[in-house]
Structure 1
Amino acid sequence: MLSVRPHKEAIRHGGGLRAASYAHPEVTEPWLDLSTGINPVPYPAQPASAAERGRLPDPLELAALEATAARFFNAKPERVAGASGAETVIRLLPVLLGKVTVDIVGPTYGAHAETWRAAFLAPMTISNHQAYSSGSDVLVIVNPNNPDGYVFSKAELLRILRKRETQGRWLVIDESFGECSPENSMADVISDRLIVLRSFGKFFGLAGVRLGFAIASPAFKASLRALTGDWPVSADAITMGRQAYADPAWSEATLASLQGQAVKLDEALISSGFEVIGGTCLFRLARHSRAHDWFWKLCRRGVLTRPFDHTPDVLRFGLPRPDDFYRLHRALEAEL
């Protein structure tokens, strides 16, 4: 059995193709990156024009993006604040909410705990079943969860929110994979104690554009804007975001296609001895007693997955492009 640990980038958040290629110089064909939950077939957006890139984004253009996104989220435009990715908002939460106690339903996306620890606070990880009884100032729920895909129903989240409202406490819901479970989104709920985060890059397959949103009270939006400045997103993000969010037909067709591809991925993993234990339409979480060996075996064949230090017997697999399934099958067929 191999004893070398996966590289740090793979454990922390997925990605890190450059580090993977340095660790595996024997890989000669382009890498198949399944370590992130990003749509492998991106929205065909056109970037900003040369003129738009040559000047600062106009505030009215940003407002138009936020209004278009608000219609997609079924939210009020005055409650939607654009930012350079949901990650930016996550990192600013301690500044915006102050010295608070924090519970995070997990295990989940590691940036949430990192953020509060960097602010010299001590977030507590709690289970799904403990969410309603949380007595912290801030409760963070990733819904659907990353990496296991666990989903709180909207009714459950409303019950949690109403209790926290009466206590003057915050509920932060990270819906970075919300397009995979739109019926459970809280983006349309109006509450001064609710902050919903949305990511553009994952579902639309354009993570490098760096665009995300906070959906919250107008007061929170104003405080966030004061920190991110007058130009919180780029010209490309404004232009491409407006196109994508104004195209519901593409989103509906894409959701159906991704759900079908996820079933196909399940079948490939199960046939290779994995147990699929969770996921969303953009990634699957699979258990194997030799997951560590599988990680390295797949790396040697140019396929990058996502391992976890807190659960060493699982790997997360993003969806391959439809025409890349043959590579995954080929890598999974070889012996350990």
Structure 2
Amino acid sequence: MIPSIHHGGDMQAVKAQYPHVQEEWLDLSTGLSPFVYPWQEKIAAVDLYEASSKLPQTSLIDACGEAWALYLGIKDRTDWLLTAGSQAIINILPRLLPEYQAVIPVPNYGEHARVWSRSARPAIMLEREVLKSFEYGDQQVVFLTSPNNPDGYIWSKETIWKMAEQLKEKRGYLLLDEAFADVAFSHSIAAENIPDNMILLRSFGKFFGLAGVRLGYAKLPAGLKGKAQAILGPWSVNGLAALIAFKALRDDRWIEDTRTALSKGAVKLKTILKASGFEIIGGTDLFCLGYHKDTNRLTEQLNGSAIHVRRFEEYPNWIRFGIPASEEEFNRLREALYVR
């Protein structure tokens, strides 16, 4: 059985655990932007009806892919595939590469290890610094997340190119998960000449605050793209998601304003956490990771104030905080942490 992973965001389960808490909950447990793209205001009702009442139209899926390519600066989108979230590709990778062994640096997004737990060759889990000097074996696929989840670590482009070249010599692949790269755009390699043994994943929902839309964009080597399409089957992306993303990805003013708001919010969040005794050990403009010697007490303190945060079983002294959306929410966090 594939082990389950506790993710943030399941507020109904949290409320059931704390039935005595009567306040409206503030969910800071995910790395999602608190600024949700207002698609209901931006798209005509007739277009929303059309996209949701008919089967996904090829022309709309293509238009969404073109909008994403323009947003990322991609010149040739031949090997790019629109998917129902980047998780859709993560889930099928063991089927795309059945003879391959996963090499996963830790910490990392937990789903990469989870989906490989039933593969023919057990995954190799190793510390990030060890990976940098690791000697690759034959037919291995290395998983990098940049910025990393949960600590925001960014892999240098020089290291990425070097790893891809070394893996190619061993018939290996490099997967680069750029789910949080919308707030670290200068570090993204999406617009560059990506090696033909690299898989690159992008996520729509995090920056645009629309995780429920379930949309991703994946660059796959030519030999894998066809296999992926066959496994995912027809209509793997719904029409409403494609329409919303098409509109959002072309909304330059909203994107610029949101990046500014997130950057300011991240600075404010770090200031609050430092004042409450946290050591800041990483983050992005979408979340902040803090270390504290008394995280159990603090978590209960926050839960008592109806604030949900992200804990990590393997790192008990870590707490990850998402960005509050307003001054009112920042004040709730200050009060819960006893910060004046």
Distance 1:141 1:222 in 2: 23
Is 1:283 the equivalent of 2:291?
no
Structure 1 residue aligned with 2:8, among 4, 7, 14? 14
Structure 1 residue aligned with 2:175, among 167, 172, 182? 172
1:114 corresponds to: 114
1:303 aligns with 2:307: yes
Alignment of 1:106-255 (within 5 A): 106-132=106-132, 133-136=134-137, 137-188=140-191, 189-255=193-259
TM-fit CA distance, 1:250: 2.5
User: What is the CA deviation profile of residues 247-269 of structure 1, one whole-angstrom value per residue up to 9, with x for unaligned ones?
Assistant: 23322332222111101000011
- CA shift for structure 1 position 120: 4.9
TM-score normalised per structure 2: 0.91
Retained in 2: the 8 A contact 1:107–1:125? no
- SS of 1:77's equivalent in the other structure is coil
Please state how far the C-alpha of 1:60 moved relative to its aligned partner.
Answer: 2.0
AA at the equivalent of 1:67: E
Runs of 4+ in 1 over 6 A off after TM superposition: none
Counterpart code for 2:28: L
The structure 2 residue matched to 1:326, chosen from 323, 326, 331, is 331
Instruction: Decide whether the 8 Å contact of 1:59 with 1:230 is kept in 2.
Output: no
Identical amino acids, percent of aligned pairs: 35
Counterpart in the other structure of 2:18? 24
Note the alpha carbon deviations across 1:202-233, whole angstroms, 9 max, x for none.
Answer: 01100011111211223322221111112111
**What displacement does 1:99 show?**
2.2
Corresponding letter in the other structure for 1:168:
R
CA distance in 2, matches of 1:167, 1:177: 29
Once the two structures are overlaid, the 10-residue window that deviates more, 208-217 or 325-334, is 325-334
Q: Which amino acid aligns with 1:28?
A: Q
| 2:321 aligned with 1:317 | yes
Q: Equivalent residues in 2 for 1:2-81 (5 A)?
A: 12-46=6-40, 49-75=48-74, 76-81=76-81
Runs of 5+ consecutive residues of structure 1 not aligned to the other structure? 1-7
* AA aligned opposite 2:330: F
Alpha-carbon shift at residue 168 of structure 1 (Å): 2.0
What is the root-mean-square deviation of aligned Cα atoms in Å?
Answer: 1.9
SS in 2 for 1:126: strand
CA contact under 8 A between 1:14 and 1:36: conserved in structure 2? Answer: yes
What's the CA shift for 1:134? 4.4
* Partner SS state of residue 49, structure 1: helix
Q: Bigger CA drift: 261-270 or 118-127?
A: 118-127
Separation in structure 2 between the aligned mates of residue 71 and residue 256 of structure 1, nearest angstrom: 21
SS at match of 2:319: strand
1:273 to 263, 271, 277: 277
Is this contact kept in 2: 1:105–1:142, CA < 8 A?
Answer: no
